[in-house]
Amino acid sequence: MAAAVFLAVSFALLGIQEATATAGFIQAPLSQEGLVGGSVALHCEAVGRPVPEIQWWFEGNSPNDTAYQLWDGAWLDRVHIHATYDQHAASSLSIDKLSAEDAGTYECRANNDPNRNHLTLTPRVRWVRAQASVVVLKPGTIETFVENYNSKIRLTCTLNQSSIEIVGHRWMRGNKVVKEDTLSGLTTEFEVDKEETGMGNYFCVFLPEPTGKGEFILLPPNVTAVKKSTHGEEGTTITIMCKASSNLPLLYWTWHKVVDSDSEIIVSDKKKFFVNSTGLETRLTIYNLDPSTDPGSYLCNGTNSEGSGWETITLRVHSHLAALWPFLGIVAEVLVLLIIIFICEKRQKSSHDADADEDELGSAPLKSSGHSLDKDKNVRQRSTS
């Protein structure tokens, strides 16, 4: 109200005098505090005749930093400047996605001298200046805790430190607010009734935002195998391992062996199998591997209060004779080849002997035919005498 009255009086006087007046501020920017990742806004207004121009300048906190002018879109479009020039000048500066380097002194400058931006002429009137400091605070670190008791789960968030006074806490399930208070403590709690509230993603928010924010994922564990497929040698020992990611503590781990599309639970007897589970990890050790019974699929199952997660690991066991199989295969191939060659040569030799016998029979004279000719010759000779 006082600023408006002062503005009206100033222009009344200017109108009466109908003369020029140097620029002066009717509203100077105020110092601000912001959190890393947040935003700040500065505003200033100036009067004069003619209406003055307003510029924004920045100087960092480092000893070697020098002041330089800001413009709309500077700092990778994180700086936004809006100005209006009507009966007086007004300008707003906003900075998004604050970082530690944005801390420093921001200066609003005003001048209505015609030569204020001339490259060679010196302006007759100096720029009037109003400064504001911006402090960028780093959000505190939030530690989260989950406790199970009866049918409820207690969620706890603790903020290690805060440069801003805490004015309250807000608990959210997804985008829905489920609890809010105006307490100033660095610790806040919320109890989840699994039957009424349900599971999902929960957030604790320290006010004012973004002082700090923590997240809880109340879901069954996500179980993964360190190696989904592995192998061992006959007679040796092997260990397979699974891990789980879960915001809720795991209640227990179990191991199963898949047999004929069914699973059998593995009992840790320390003779054939040994199960060692600690928190979010579990290990199954198998002794004296047998290639006839141990190969197959093994299931690791982790369970928390919200359900179970599982993963499958495939185990292969190599026999002592495994290294001989390639050699035995080559030997078998050679033997088969030799047998084929032997049979082919045998058949070829038999066929050659048969052809030779036929040739001998075809070239020898027939004894019976020659004897008949001799008889005929004798008979003819007798008849002649």
Q: What is the pLDDT of residues 232-271, one digit of tens each?
A: 999 999 999 999 998 788 889 999 999 888 889 999 998 9
Residue 170, domain member (yes or no): yes
Burial of 323 (0-12, 13-18, 19+ CB in 10 A): exposed
Evaluate the omega torsion of the peptide bond into residue 208 and state whether it is cis, within 30 degrees of 0.
Answer: yes
Q: Examine the fold and report which residue of 303, 321, 339 is the final residue of a domain before the chain moves on.
A: 321
> Do 32 and 106 lie in a common domain?
yes
Q: What is the CATH number of the domain that holds 83?
A: 2.60.40.10
Residue 235, domain member (yes or no): yes
Residue 69, domain member (yes or no): yes
Within 8 A by CB and 6+ apart from 156, the residues are 144, 145, 146, 147, 187, 188, 189
3-state secondary structure (DSSP) of residue 42: strand
Residue 206, domain member (yes or no): yes
Distance, in Å, from the CA atom of 190 to the CA atom of 193, rounded to the nearest integer, reads: 10
Q: Examine the fold and report which residue of 321, 339, 354 is the final residue of a domain before the chain moves on.
A: 321
Share of the chain above pLDDT 70, in %: 84
> Do 295 and 204 lie in a common domain?
no
How crowded is residue 286: how many other Cβ atoms within 10 Å of its Cβ? 21
> Do 130 and 171 lie in a common domain?
no
Within 8 A by CB and 6+ apart from 65, the residues are 59, 104
Q: Examine the fold and report which residue of 218, 253, 270 is the final residue of a domain before the chain moves on.
A: 218
Q: Most confidently modeled of 120-124, 315-319, 358-362, 376-380?
A: 315-319
What's the rounded mean pLDDT across residues 109-125? 87
> Do 114 and 20 lie in a common domain?
yes
Tokens of 67: 């002041």
pLDDT at 70 over 50: yes
| CB-side neighbour CA atoms (13 Å) of 189 | 7
> Do 64 and 10 lie in a common domain?
yes
Residue 78, domain member (yes or no): yes
pLDDT at 226 over 50: yes
pLDDT of 359: 59
Mean pLDDT over the full length of the chain: 85
Residue 287, domain member (yes or no): yes
Tokens of 214: 């923590």
Within 8 A by CB and 6+ apart from 263, the residues are 256, 257, 299
pLDDT of 2: 52
φ and ψ of 16, to 5 deg: -70, -45
What's the rounded mean pLDDT across residues 50-65? 95
> Do 10 and 101 lie in a common domain?
yes
Q: How many domains does the chain have?
A: 3
Distance, in Å, from the CA atom of 175 to the CA atom of 211, rounded to the nearest integer, reads: 18
How crowded is residue 309: how many other Cβ atoms within 10 Å of its Cβ? 21
pLDDT of 363: 53
Residue 327, domain member (yes or no): no
> Do 271 and 255 lie in a common domain?
yes
Burial of 289 (0-12, 13-18, 19+ CB in 10 A): buried
What's the rounded mean pLDDT across residues 334-363? 75
> Do 98 and 177 lie in a common domain?
no
pLDDT at 147 over 90: no
What's the rounded mean pLDDT across residues 212-240? 92
> Do 6 and 115 lie in a common domain?
yes
What's the rounded mean pLDDT across residues 32-44? 92
Within 8 A by CB and 6+ apart from 369, the residues are none
φ and ψ of 74, to 5 deg: -70, 170
Distance, in Å, from the CA atom of 47 to the CA atom of 24, rounded to the nearest integer, reads: 5
The answer to whether the CB of 205 falls within 8 A of the CB of 240 is: no
> Do 202 and 238 lie in a common domain?
no
Domain containing residue 176? 142-218
> Do 298 and 187 lie in a common domain?
no
pLDDT of 18: 46
Evaluate the omega torsion of the peptide bond into residue 123 and state whether it is cis, within 30 degrees of 0.
Answer: no
How crowded is residue 376: how many other Cβ atoms within 10 Å of its Cβ? 10
pTM of the model: 0.50
Q: In what order do the strands lie in the sheet with 79-85?
A: 21-27, 40-49, 89-95, 79-85
> Do 131 and 249 lie in a common domain?
no
Which residue pairs from 272-275 have beta carbons closer than 8 angstroms and sit at least 24 positions apart in sequence?
none
Residue 209, domain member (yes or no): yes
